Amino acid sequence: MAARRWVRTGAFAGIVTIFLALVGLIGGFTDVFLIGDEVTFAGLMLLLPAFVAGFVAAAPRIEGGERREMSLGEAAVAAAVAAASAGFVFALAVLFTDLIGDERIRPIFLNVSPSLMEFVAFGQSTVVGAVILVALSTMAGVLGGVLRAAPPVIRRPVTAAVVVTVLFGFLQRVIPIALDQLSLERDWLYHPIHDGLTWVGAAVVAAISAGISLLNTRFGARVRGSLSSSIGGRSGLAMSPVRLIASVAAVALLIAAPLLLGSVISEVLGTVMVFALLGIGLNIVVGYAGLLDLGYVFFFALGAYSLALLTGATLNVYGVPPDPAISGDLNFYIAIPIVMLIAAAAGLLVGAPVLRLRGDYLALVTLGLGEMVTVLVGSPWLVPLVGGPSGMRGITDAAIGGFAFRDPQRFYYLALAFVALAAFLSWRLATSRIGRAWTAMREDEQTADAMGISTTRFKLLAFAIGGAIGSLGGALFAVKIGSLTPASFQVIVSIQVLGLVILGGLGSIPGVLVGALVLVGLPGLLREFEEYRFLAYGAAVVAVMVLRPQGLVPNVRRSRELQEEERAQDEWAKAVEEGETPGELGPPAEVTT
Amino acid sequence: MTTERGAPILELRNVSTHYGLVAVLRDVDMDIYAGEMVCLLGGNASGKTTTLKTILGYVTPSEGDVVLDGNVVSGMSTAEVVRRGVSMVPENRRLFPDMTVEENLRLGAYLRRDRSAIEAARETVFETFPRVRERLKQKAGTLSGGEQQMVAMGRALMADPKVLLMDEPSMGLAPILVEQVFEIIKKIRELGKTVFIVEQNANMALSIADRGYVIQTGQVVLADTAQNLLQNPLMREAYLGEL
């Protein structure tokens, strides 16, 4: 019975491995080194599914209302069965490919390259390679299983060490630059030739992270407790001291980042900030007011193009006079408030016709509106205004007295300033009467109405404010790249922004920042992965929705919602046990009249 | 309470309401006087809930006026009607389940700015329902049915309304809870509030109300004191479950 479950888990992991190989995440990365000469990204991708299968197979199960932990031996057996199945499934696929010839599969799956075939055969004949593959998978799985079944005092530090070390391996383009900037020696940590961690470096990183994790497990609670009582009690801050320290550190890092990381990475971080602005804006519409808007690119484009027009950018078109039909000659900082006003007005215009729509219908209509923008800015019809397919150039660099902001590091600070402003505004809104009205409206529109909350007005307000902040993102984007083409304003922008808002946690401002960093920053930092950006997007969003539906840095209310559901169920169960009638629980049923 | 009668506080004058082409209310006349508890009885799809929706401005009557304290309010937005002093305890309570009890109460006073008056209203709620004070920090969705009903009533009281509307407070509750709910309504009555209550449970409603209206296919077919309605043979046959 149990064995069958393990095999199933393993087979699934094997299929995942096949998938990873087919999309090129194994074959294309045989020379991306994470640690030393041995651990490559391809190797990680090849064995990670088996490791996870082992980890999952050894997880405690709840059977007949009892939590059953596995002993180390049982865990090892379960994990071995699962991981061996994973390896077996993948090895079968390799053997099959070899049998019919990989050149016959390549026309369909481009990534089934000779170098992939060589890699998965470990340079041996296919059959020997398959045996090695199963053996290595099994070992990886057993490691996973044993780790899962180990007591927390071992599991936590080991997990921390592995995760942080791999992360350091990934950040091989980021951390060495920071070390250089700080004039610290780097060669001991990162391999000078092929960029990955050295074994010494990996060991140090692993030891430090394991140590921190151990300290946290042993003393963390006590330190937090004494911190809360000594600082938290007096300062009257709503935040816990740990959160406070973390926030201060995060802000310091945000400010220091471009100085530490140089202009190439600052470029990426500038994009992250633009998306953070878009996220903060969309978060107001979706996270606060609960209106699912899939056409947010509308405001992004509106902000970019109206800034271009107001500040005297020229058309990128031959044979047409270079000045657009409407052209201002305003300073960036004077144009910005006007751009935001235009966007707010547009928000009202977009909002008004869709006021009566909810949920899926609203999403579909806004999706259509967003698509219209893409078509419009690229259409020949608007060539005299926005340059059509070839777009506009010569957009202001937002200079203050000759101090231009086009340079990536400077742009980052400009964008950071606007993000800070928008975040502050958004936070004040959330805690205001307006924010309360939005929350009520999101939870139950009709009842909010009955409380005297004019839902029409608050919906329009959300569209207007969200739109204004989104246009700010567009305007900054225009400053950043200096020229505009319709290619930058595709529907995928809406999806990306929604993705980062959901990943970070709906309604949470720090969540938006984390979401932008993860979904926009990471793929940008790891250039090789650029083409896998959307694959990673999808995977990340699915993983978060399944494992942590409240998002990475959840809004306090939402996480409370999710946790209390469980607590309430526990209490209910207890009440039943004690023979009381707890009454009905949970939200009242949907009422239709 | 039925003795002193000035102008009614809430009045429906020849109100007809249509959903598209379908007439749901036809020429409905009702008066509710200050301090009274009036119930509206009727079977399924008789127009009970539509009457409340018309009063509250969710729907606009196609003919006739809703008059609150001498002013015509039909045609105004719900928010405006609420601002002018009508509160509702919705069908199935409809608390904001993911907000705390405290936040639910605060939303009840959303339109009020006077902090001391809000505080006073809160105290009234706590005095009437001590249980609510105990549950302040708890998420509303985790309360028992009876407690939820108290919070829903408390939330409506927070607005210090001129008229309190209740939409089927006993709906979907176990019999033992129905009794509990009517105890709660009695307490509100003791506060001297004007209450207009829509119910299917005619026996219960008439036992606490001053007067009652009976509505059938959108028309008022009976209007009398609660006492008389309880005695009315037609009533007994159709609504009080006696043959």
Handedness of CA B209, B212, B216, B218 (dihedral sign): negative
**A93 within some domain:** yes
Distance of alpha carbon A553 from alpha carbon A65, whole angstroms: 31
CA distance B42 to chain A (A): 15
**A170 within some domain:** no
DSSP string, A98-115: HHH-HHHHTTT-TT--HH
Residues A198-255: tens digit of each pLDDT: 888 899 999 999 999 888 888 877 777 776 666 544 445 556 677 788 888 888 988 8
CA distances from A165 to A51, A158, A199, A520 (A): 16, 11, 10, 22
Distance of alpha carbon A20 from alpha carbon A15, whole angstroms: 9
DSSP assignment letter at A71? P
On the CB side of A124, how many CA atoms lie within 13 Å of its CA?
Answer: 12
B139 and A561 within 8 Å at the Cβ level: the answer is yes
**A400 within some domain:** yes
Residues A468-503: tens digit of each pLDDT: 999 999 999 999 999 999 999 998 899 999 999 988
Distance of alpha carbon B91 from alpha carbon B83, whole angstroms: 20
In terms of residue numbers, what domain contains A426? 262-347+367-441+462-559
Is any Cβ of chain B less than 8 angstroms from the Cβ of A582?
yes
- 3-state class percentages of chain A: helix first, strand second, coil last, to nearest 5: 75, 5, 25
Query: What confidence score (pLDDT) does residue A205 get?
Result: 92
Is any Cβ of chain B less than 8 angstroms from the Cβ of A439?
yes
Residue B22 has pLDDT above 60, yes or no: yes
Range with the largest mean pLDDT of A564-568, B41-45, B133-137: B133-137
Pick from B49, B53, B107: which is nearest to A440 by CB? B107
Q: Mean pLDDT, to the nearest integer, of B48-69?
A: 93
Neighbours of A348 (CB within 10 A): 14
- Read off the tokens for A276: 């953070």
- Mutate which of A439, A451, A561 to disrupt the B interface (most B C-beta within 10 Å)? A451
Place of tokens 């027009």: A309
For helices A359-378 and A297-310, give the axis angle rounded to 10 degrees. 30
Tell whether A308 and A436 lie within a shared domain: yes
Residue B243 has pLDDT above 50, yes or no: no
- Residue A144 near residue A152, CB atoms below 8 Å: no
Pick from B110, B144, B146: which is nearest to A451 by CB? B110
Contacts of B108 in chain A (CB under 8 A): 451
- Residue A94 near residue A132, CB atoms below 8 Å: no
Beta pairing, strands B37-41 & B195-199: parallel
Is any Cβ of chain B less than 8 angstroms from the Cβ of A431?
no
**A197 within some domain:** no
Contacts of A564 in chain B (CB under 8 A): 139, 142
B93 and A584 within 8 Å at the Cβ level: the answer is no
Residues A266-285: tens digit of each pLDDT: 899 999 999 999 999 999 99
Of A467, A422, A485, A426, the residue nearest A296 (C-alpha): A467
Residues A17-58: tens digit of each pLDDT: 999 999 888 888 888 888 888 888 899 999 999 999 999 999
Query: What confidence score (pLDDT) does residue B241 get?
Result: 60
- Residue A268 near residue A524, CB atoms below 8 Å: yes
Residue B240 has pLDDT above 50, yes or no: yes
- Residue B150 near residue A575, CB atoms below 8 Å: no
Query: What confidence score (pLDDT) does residue A560 get?
Result: 55
Query: What confidence score (pLDDT) does residue B45 get?
Result: 83
Distance of alpha carbon A300 from alpha carbon B97, whole angstroms: 35
Q: Mean pLDDT, to the nearest integer, of A54-78?
A: 85
B77 and A456 within 8 Å at the Cβ level: the answer is yes
Mean pLDDT across chain B: 89
Residue A304 has pLDDT above 60, yes or no: yes
Neighbours of A589 (CB within 10 A): 9
Query: What confidence score (pLDDT) does residue A145 get?
Result: 92
Residue A458 has pLDDT above 60, yes or no: yes
Is any Cβ of chain B less than 8 angstroms from the Cβ of A248?
no
Distance of alpha carbon A470 from alpha carbon A463, whole angstroms: 10
DSSP assignment letter at B206? H
**A47 within some domain:** yes
Q: Which has more pLDDT, A568 or A8?
A: A8
Q: Mean pLDDT, to the nearest integer, of A187-202?
A: 85
Residue A577 has pLDDT above 60, yes or no: no
Q: How many domains does chain A have?
A: 2
Q: Mean pLDDT, to the nearest integer, of A394-405?
A: 87
Q: Which has more pLDDT, B199 or A556?
A: B199
Q: Mean pLDDT, to the nearest integer, of B115-120?
A: 92
The answer regarding whether domain B1-85+163-168+187-243 maps to CATH 3.40.50.300 reads: yes
DSSP H stretches of helix in B129-174: 130-134, 145-157
Residue A592 has pLDDT above 70, yes or no: no
Is any Cβ of chain B less than 8 angstroms from the Cβ of A446?
yes
User: Of A132, A150, A168, which one is at a domain's C-terminal end?
Assistant: A150
Of A492, A477, A536, A524, the residue nearest A273 (C-alpha): A477
- Read off the tokens for B197: 């209550």
A433 and B91 within 8 Å at the Cβ level: the answer is no
Query: What confidence score (pLDDT) does residue B50 get?
Result: 92
Distance of alpha carbon A570 from alpha carbon A557, whole angstroms: 20
Mean pLDDT across chain A: 85
Neighbours of A545 (CB within 10 A): 12
CA distances from A578 to A65, A282, B134 (A): 18, 47, 21
The interface pTM score, or ipTM, of the predicted complex is 0.86
Q: Mean pLDDT, to the nearest integer, of A397-413?
A: 89
Residue A591 has pLDDT above 50, yes or no: no
When pLDDT is cut at 50, 70 and 90, the band that residue A584 belongs to is very low
Burial B173-202 (b: 16+ CB within 10 A, else e): beeebbebbbebbeebbeeebbbbbbbbbb
**A92 within some domain:** yes
Query: What confidence score (pLDDT) does residue A523 get?
Result: 78
Q: Mean pLDDT, to the nearest integer, of B73-77?
A: 92
Pick from B50, B92, B145: which is nearest to A583 by CB? B145
Residue A580 has pLDDT above 70, yes or no: no
What does residue A453 show for φ and ψ, rounded to 5 degrees?
-85, 120
- Residue B202 near residue B240, CB atoms below 8 Å: yes
**A194 within some domain:** no
DSSP assignment letter at A125? -
Query: What confidence score (pLDDT) does residue A590 get?
Result: 40
| Residue in B with minimal Cα distance to A436 | B107
Q: Mean pLDDT, to the nearest integer, of A285-301?
A: 93
Tell me the three state secondary structure of residue B12. Answer: strand
Tell whether A329 and A472 lie within a shared domain: yes
Tell me the three state secondary structure of residue B68. Answer: strand
When pLDDT is cut at 50, 70 and 90, the band that residue A559 belongs to is low
DSSP H stretches of helix in A379-407: 383-386
**Domain map of chain B by residue range?**
1-85+163-168+187-243, 91-160
Distance of alpha carbon A506 from alpha carbon A514, whole angstroms: 12
Burial, A344: exposed, middle or buried (Cβ in 10 Å; 0-12, 13-18, 19+)? buried
